[in-house]
Structure 1
Amino acid sequence: MAQCRLTERIIIEKYSSSQNENGFDIEDWTEYYKCWSSYKQVTGREYISAKATNSENIVTFTVRYCNKIKELLKPGASKIFRIKYKDEYFDIENVLDFENLHKFVDIKAKINC
């Protein structure tokens, strides 16, 4: 974890599923928490697979620890949460409480294409 200058606004969204009156599943992402973070580009990798060019952008968002962020540390939370940053959506890959100090949390995420 580097120095923290929390200058970027992010929205953490939570996945929910319900059924409509016809019994079809409705998938919905709702705003869970809005907070300030720092943004750091970790890796930008392009590779060729099956004659298609793919790119992978991994970024780190550092946020302050709080009860809402504590939910992201639970096992399986990366499947039901995502991050919206500057009209881009990021799938959460890993969440780390730096040295278990409960001060800052690093969220590693990959851009959702």
Structure 2
Amino acid sequence: MKISSLNKRITLQKLVEVENEANENVLVSQDFKTIWASIAPVKGREYLEAKKIQAELTYKITIRYAKDITPDMQIRYGERIFNIKDIIDPFEKHELLEIMCIEKVVKNG
């Protein structure tokens, strides 16, 4: 893969536990690192749930290798949020990471 194909600016986010005004612990997204990536759809699937159609789209997000990325993080690209499912180090070369993600899109219809 050519590094020039990493043309999308994404932000990796960690879910951290913080205390809100009611002294309750809640999970919030906290920006961890902003990096360059490529984003490519892998497959799509639609299903009916609670009278809403939800499209579940799987994406492969490719970035330069980084050892501090974990599956409990999420990725923000603009207004879109991707939940990380798998992190693959192709051929264990430590050059790139392929991050398999799911973006859930709710359509009212």
TM-score (norm 2): 0.82
Q: Please identify which structure carries the higher strand content.
A: 2
Deviations along 1:34-75, one digit per CA (max 9) or x if unpaired, are: 000011111111134576533210001100013xxx122xxx
| RMSD across aligned positions (CA) | 1.9
Offset of residue 18 of structure 1: 2.3
Specify every segment of 5 or more residues in structure 2 that has no aligned partner in the other structure, as ranges: none
2:101 maps to a residue whose letter is A
Asked whether 1:97 is paired with 2:94, we answer no
Sequence identity percentage: 26
Alignment CA distance shift 1:47-1:31 (3 Å): same
Query: Which residue is equivalent to 1:58?
Result: 58
Misfit runs of 4+, over 6 Å: none
Q: Please identify which structure carries the higher helix content.
A: 1
Query: Which residue is equivalent to 1:6?
Result: 6
Structure 2 contact 44–58 (Cα < 8 Å) conserved: yes
2:16 maps to a residue whose letter is S
In structure 1, what is the Cα distance between the partners aligned to 2:83 and 2:21?
30
SS in 2 for 1:78: coil
